[in-house]
Amino acid sequence: MLLGHNDQFSADKIMRVTVAFNRFGAGCIERMPRVRFGYAHVANNKYEEWIMYAIGGSANPTILSEGNYFAAPNNKGCKQVTKREASGGWSSWKWRTSMDVFQNGAYFVPSGYGSCSPLYTAAQRFPVANGAMVPALTADAGPLNCVVGKPC
């Protein structure tokens, strides 16, 4: 899931995206999502055993990870949830975690200062559950098991 045109397309600074109620199963590699510029609210998703990283970014995006459930792979080199691509440094980028659950050594590297709350109107907001609720919230999420010629 790549959000944003490229690292030079600064018009994407106005982008606001919510990624919610997904189940990213074992074997997913990266970009769940990867964000360029803009704002991403990543909420109530379940991540299991990613291969490289779960949430990434470049070109100074703002990311709020809220109420997610992260179960890291057994590979000791892949415990970090986050990955930043930056030649000029990323320590001022606003990346936050709130109400997330981290299992099997998973960890999130926050950065930046100031508010990182959702940039949405009251009508666009929704209540985010604590990450402990995510396995139940996403129990039926995932690819459809469809057979050609039969309804799904």
Q: Which tokens hold the place of 9? A: 């397309």
Amino acid identity of residue 142, one-letter, is G
Select which of 16, 23, 31, 36 is catalytic.
Answer: 31
In sequence order, the 6+-apart residues with CB closer than 8 A to the CB of 113 are: 92, 94
91 in Cβ contact with 112 (< 8 Å): yes
31 carries an active-site annotation: yes
Q: Residue 134 carries which DSSP code?
A: H
Give yes or no for a contact between 72 and 106, defined as CB atoms under 8 angstroms apart. Answer: yes
Q: 99 in the Ramachandran plot: left (φ > 0), alpha (ψ -120 to 50) or beta? A: left
Would you name the residues annotated as active-site residues?
Answer: 31
